Amino acid sequence: MNNREKLIFLVFLVYKTSESLFQPSIRLYIYETVGQILASRNESQGPTKDALDLINLQYVNPLEIENEVQRSAANYIIAYRTLINIPAAILTIYWGGWSDRFGRKLPLILPCIGAIVSCCMFSLALERTVKGTIVAIGVIMMAVLIYGIFGKSALLTMSCNSYVVDCSTSEERTTLLSRLLGMNFLGIFFGSFLVGLISKYAGFSTVLLTTSLSCGFLVILIAFVIPETVKLQDENQLVANEETCLSKPESKNVKLKNYLWNFFTRSRKGENRKYLIWLILAIFWNQTAKAGEQDVILLYVKHSPMNWSDEMYGYYLATYYGCMGLNLIFVLPLIERFFNLSDTVLILIGISMKAIRLIMMGSTFVQWQIFLSAVIGSSAGMIVAVTKSLLSKICEDDEIGVTFAITSAMEAFSSLIGPTIFNLLYEATMDMYIGTIFYIDACLQFCFLIGFIKLHFYLVKG
């Protein structure tokens, strides 16, 4: 591993740590604010201060009030997902093609700037006259929109994946991209652990300050330390390209559409085009289910009889993603070295362990068993890492940026579609049994498993 790769791993680790502190804190803050709003509407029924007071009222039906808070919070979380993911998905595709021609550094910097600006906007929601009101929800949604417009993790993930591929050979990519994704999960581990600590000892303002300082450090590191990996064209041609892309407003959309059309329809060696489309759809399918789980798990562990604190929820996320990171950084390279398993077999292992985790989680309310399911299911991290490695081996060298831009955009769209579907399913099934959603998710994973079994035997025969 050379110095450039170490630096980009550091960027990814720090950014994902800050984002994994920032985004769960936003969802928790939305949940708290919704509880405060509903509490203020029920003041005539008794003294209430926050969501926990509202849930614990003795003079009304606690389950009925709890379900009202959860349904309202679920709707606001859907709105949050929409505002943060649609702009990021669209812009990431554009910046992917741009980075193949002009460089990776600007797409690396933009999400960091967006996080800083959005933290400044979020601070307005903490004002005493605004906090706990519907105005606070409006301010939060505006800050979320700014965060999405600057690309968030979708743009940074695309840029980091492209940067690693620029610096590596095809033989190194599975290991390096797995380690990069391992940094992603370690970042989520550290961020989730900080969620637990900060929720116990500090507050949301500390989250904003920590996120801003981390992203400010990254802006300086990327701008002045990390070298560029894309060779620029000569100056005259660069100016001409910039004029073509930027001076004609209508040319951006036309050029982007043509570029995407050519990417999916161009002739490729053997069956590579079919494999490429399948793998992109596979990433989208997996990330849709993964994104849907995140919000549902929050609502699930906040529901009775568990009633987890913010601190315990943060520790659960830290356990799950920390184990994922360790699997990708240490376990997967050892498996590749000593067992020489094919990429598709590694993916099948990851899907199987994830399905087991979902079944376990939906079948218990016992805290240690839920944590155990997180450890068992951590092998799921291999699914995306190995699939992206396969993608990088199929596409052409001049398509690396746009390939990872499309997968990042798919991941961003899945972050919207997944939670929307899963929140609606959770609302529809919670009165029957609140763990039903996890059984539905496990069934989706088995369908996913069948698809990769077919692909595995197809590749063996080919």
Q: Which domains does the chain have, with CATH numbers?
A: 3-461 (1.20.1250.20)
- Range 211-220 average pLDDT: 96
What would the two tokens of residue 16 be? 């994902």
Helix (H, G, I), strand (E, B) or coil at 304: coil
* 56 pLDDT more than 80: no
Model-level pTM?
A: 0.74
pLDDT computed for residue 255 by the predictor: 60
**pLDDT tens for residues 382-425?**
898 888 888 877 777 777 777 888 888 888 788 778 878 888 89
**pLDDT tens for residues 159-185?**
998 888 888 777 777 788 888 888 988
| Residue 260: C-alpha distances to residues 63, 256, 406 (Å) | 50, 6, 9
The closest of 145, 107, 17, 26 to 400, measured between CA atoms, is 107
* 313 pLDDT more than 70: yes
As a whole-number percent, the residues of the chain with pLDDT over 90 amount to 23
Sign of the alpha-carbon torsion through 178, 184, 186, 192: negative
- Range 291-310 average pLDDT: 85
Q: Are 225 and 7 in contact (CB under 8 A)?
A: yes
pLDDT computed for residue 328 by the predictor: 85
CB atoms within 10 A of CB 119: 23
DSSP string for 32-89: HHHHHHHHHHTGGGS---SHHHHHT-SSS-HHHHHHHHHHHHHHHHHHHHHHHHHHHH
Lowest model confidence (mean pLDDT) among 148-157, 257-266, 344-353: 257-266
